[in-house]
Chains A and B, each alone.
Chain A
Amino acid sequence: MRDRGKRGRPVTEPPHLASAGEKQNRTGTGRPHLAVVGAGPAGLAGALAAAARGIRVTLVDAAGQAGGQFYRQPAPALGARRPQALHHQWRTWVRLRDGLDRHRTSGRITHRTDHHVWCVERDCASGRFRVHALLGPAQEEGGTVDADAVLLATGGYERVLPFPGWTLPGVVTAGGAQAMLKGGLVLPGRTAVVAGTGPLLLPVATGLAAAGARVAALVESAGPAALLRRAPALAAQPGKLAEGAGYAARLLRHGVPALVRHTVVAAHGTDRLEAVTVAALDRTGQIRPGGTRRVPCDTLAVGHGMLPHTDLAETLGCTLSGPAVRVDGEQRTDVPGVWAAGEATGVGGAALALAEGHIAGRSVAARLHGTVPDPGRWAAAARTRDRLRKFAAALDAVYAPPAGWAAGVTDDTVVCRCEEVTAGEVRVAAGPLGAGDLRTVKLLTRAGMGWCQGRMCAPAVAGLTGCPLTPGRRPFARPVPLGVLAALPDADGTGPDRNGPD
């Protein structure tokens, strides 16, 4: 393995990243090598399971510390002596963290922090992989990791559907509020409303309240009837229900009023958020006339569920199933040598990610050692996986955005935050101009052409136009400096040269 500077020079590895067992591996020499992309629950579980079975693992992750979003840790310099006050399932984290430390010490796992992966390249001839990353928070230089197999544990990101005022400073995603709290130990303001739909809202509301924010309301668009309809599937998860009950108790303790079957229809303010309008929903998800109230707040933490990160998988050629990467019982994708686990294969939470990552790691280990794995060895994890997938599907059905949300998006509401494309422009593209799919709407309006490449607006555009929500093609999973692209090895591997007019 080696890192490349942006001009293709191998760069000296910082000493804290180098480890004893680190040597350039070629197929057939030394221990087989797995690159795990993402150090959240799925990636960690996969890395530990593979490393414990004789695989050399490089854990490649964008953050400065392992944990992903769920176990996001405060920066060490903040000196938090009790970070668990902001976390759940802390003991699981301690186990993962200690396992990672052990394997790092023994050289079985190399942890590459601050590596923002923009592409995973598969060499069709050898079947080997090169993981291309941008280094450091600045992401101006490139680095690569070569491997015999890849586990994609890229996680997910939050879906937020638009409403008038949603671009005002002070409106943040629910997960964003939580990430800033867990990682930076900061609050966005003094008075928060937590709104949207999904299981994330409860921990965000209780977390903000525990950290000293006044949470003026928890606004959930799903109604109790929907929960009841799914009661059997949900009751099969007593642990999860207890977790929910625990959150409910905490809401009470912090005096957070919970408004179910309600939605935020508008955010108000000139240059920052001052208040939101909350409306009651009827049983069909339409706004009940006359049932609105204005809630003053300086923060709105809003989210409507999660979407998987599938860019790297798609560029590798992996087949998707709906919005997620399709995997088999061993967590293999349909591209040889590529495994996937966690939210990338379907959003289901940290416990499901752990089970999937564990299975993936064991499968990788067996396959890279040239053997066929025995699924009986991971039967317990497989049972957990099946149960939690059913639970996730039930939650998905319960926590749907209100049916009538799109009608509330006024024509002057910005939908594409990057390119400032309004709902009105999107509607014209899908109407008089005849666009019937997300790509054509993008071509005709620029919605989805900006910095975030449609990650934020695609669900909204799909909902506003009735186009199917198809994952966008994003060959670069992150913006890549042209200098890094220019320094890539040549087609024949001889390194960069000029292609200009000289």
Chain B
Amino acid sequence: MNPLELTRARPGEPFTVTFDGRPVAALPGQTVAAALWAAGVTAWRSTRGAGRPRGVFCGIGVCFDCLVTVDGRPNQRACLVPVHPGDEIRTQEGTGQDDARPGEAGPARD
């Protein structure tokens, strides 16, 4: 049994995203966090102090532990942001702003 079977889900066609450069399969409708969990990934941030790994904690957008860099945009909450085909998801180091300057990020996308 898995959650998809339990709810008799018929998801759309899986697509591919990358996590730290390696391909990961994702389903339409999933959040970034759900796609990474489904791929067995539980950590995608390292803290700015001790460099410790973090991932989902509260799962509802309150704790900000699951911050991740998607397509060069840092500090996205993986538990809220839907995954899109071709997304480049990267482990966020520290503030996430060291290589992706906030003023130079791409246009907003919903």
Chain A residues in the interface with B (C-beta under 8 A) = 62, 69, 74-83, 85-86, 114, 135-138, 140-141, 157-158, 167-173, 175-181, 183-189, 210-212, 271-272, 414, 417-420, 450-452, 455-456
Q: Is A157's CB under 8 angstroms from B60's CB?
A: yes
Residue of B nearest to A6 (CB): B108
Interface flag for B52 (CB, 8 Å): yes
B66 to chain A, nearest CB (A): 9
Task: Determine the distance from Cα of A271 to Cα of B58 in the docked complex, in whole angstroms.
Answer: 19
Task: Determine the distance from Cα of A8 to Cα of B6 in the docked complex, in whole angstroms.
Answer: 46
Q: Is B49's CB under 8 angstroms from A272's CB?
A: no
Given contacts A85-B6, A137-B82, A210-B6, contact A176 B58 (CB under 8 A): yes
Q: SS class of chain A's interface: helix, strand, loop or mixed?
A: loop
Chain B residues in the interface with A (C-beta under 8 A) = 1-12, 27-31, 33-34, 37-38, 42-43, 47-50, 52-65, 67, 73, 75-77, 79-82, 108-110
Q: Contacts of B52 on A, CB cut-off 8 Å?
A: 167, 414, 420
Partner of A173, one of B12, B33, B58: B58
Q: Is B63's CB under 8 angstroms from A417's CB?
A: yes
Task: Determine the distance from Cα of A141 to Cα of B10 in the docked complex, in whole angstroms.
Answer: 33
Q: Is A172's CB under 8 angstroms from B56's CB?
A: yes
Q: Contacts of B30 on A, CB cut-off 8 Å?
A: 75, 78, 184, 186
Residue of A nearest to B45 (CB): A169
B92 to chain A, nearest CB (A): 12
Q: Is B33's CB under 8 angstroms from A180's CB?
A: yes
Task: Determine the distance from Cα of A189 to Cα of B39 in the docked complex, in whole angstroms.
Answer: 10
B69 to chain A, nearest CB (A): 13
Q: Is A138's CB under 8 angstroms from B108's CB?
A: yes
Q: Is B42's CB under 8 angstroms from A170's CB?
A: yes
A207 to chain B, nearest CB (A): 9
Partner of A420, one of B27, B50, B64, B82: B50
Q: Is B64's CB under 8 angstroms from A80's CB?
A: no
Q: Contacts of A178 on B, CB cut-off 8 Å?
A: 59
Interface centre among A175, A178, A185, A272 (most CB of B within 10 A): A185
Q: Is A75's CB under 8 angstroms from B3's CB?
A: no
Q: Contacts of B37 on A, CB cut-off 8 Å?
A: 180, 184, 186-188
Task: Determine the distance from Cα of A179 to Cα of B61 in the docked complex, in whole angstroms.
Answer: 11
Q: Is A85's CB under 8 angstroms from B56's CB?
A: no
Given contacts A80-B8, A169-B55, A173-B58, contact A183 B63 (CB under 8 A): no
Q: SS class of chain B's interface: helix, strand, loop or mixed?
A: loop
Q: Contacts of A138 on B, CB cut-off 8 Å?
A: 73, 76, 81, 108-110
Q: Contacts of A456 on B, CB cut-off 8 Å?
A: 57-58, 62-63
21 contacts between A and B (CB under 8 A): A78-B9, A78-B27, A80-B8, A86-B7, A140-B108, A168-B53, A172-B58, A176-B79, A184-B37, A185-B3, A185-B4, A187-B2, A188-B37, A189-B42, A272-B42, A417-B54, A417-B57, A450-B64, A451-B64, A451-B75, A456-B58
Interface centre among A137, A271, A414, A419 (most CB of B within 10 A): A137
Q: Can you list the 4 inter-chain pairs with the closest CB atoms, starting with the nearest?
A: A176-B59, A184-B34, A75-B29, A77-B29
Q: Contacts of B53 on A, CB cut-off 8 Å?
A: 168-169, 271-272
A422 to chain B, nearest CB (A): 10
A256 to chain B, nearest CB (A): 14
Q: Is A81's CB under 8 angstroms from B33's CB?
A: no
Residue of B nearest to A457 (CB): B63
Q: 13 other contacts beyond A114-B110, A212-B5, with CB at 8 A cut-off?
A: A75-B82, A78-B27, A86-B6, A137-B76, A172-B56, A180-B33, A183-B34, A184-B31, A212-B3, A420-B47, A450-B64, A456-B62, A456-B63
Task: Determine the distance from Cα of A451 to Cα of B66 in the docked complex, in whole angstroms.
Answer: 11
Task: Determine the distance from Cα of A173 to Cα of B4 in the docked complex, in whole angstroms.
Answer: 22
Q: Is A451's CB under 8 angstroms from B3's CB?
A: no
A481 to chain B, nearest CB (A): 9
Q: Contacts of B77 on A, CB cut-off 8 Å?
A: 137
Q: Is A184's CB under 8 angstroms from B50's CB?
A: no
Task: Determine the distance from Cα of A178 to Cα of B76 in the docked complex, in whole angstroms.
Answer: 21
Task: Determine the distance from Cα of A69 to Cα of B42 in the docked complex, in whole angstroms.
Answer: 22
Q: Contacts of A179 on B, CB cut-off 8 Å?
A: 59-60, 79
Task: Determine the distance from Cα of A176 to Cα of B78 in the docked complex, in whole angstroms.
Answer: 13
B23 to chain A, nearest CB (A): 18
Q: Contacts of B42 on A, CB cut-off 8 Å?
A: 169-170, 188-189, 272
Given contacts A170-B42, A185-B9, A271-B43, contact A137 B81 (CB under 8 A): yes
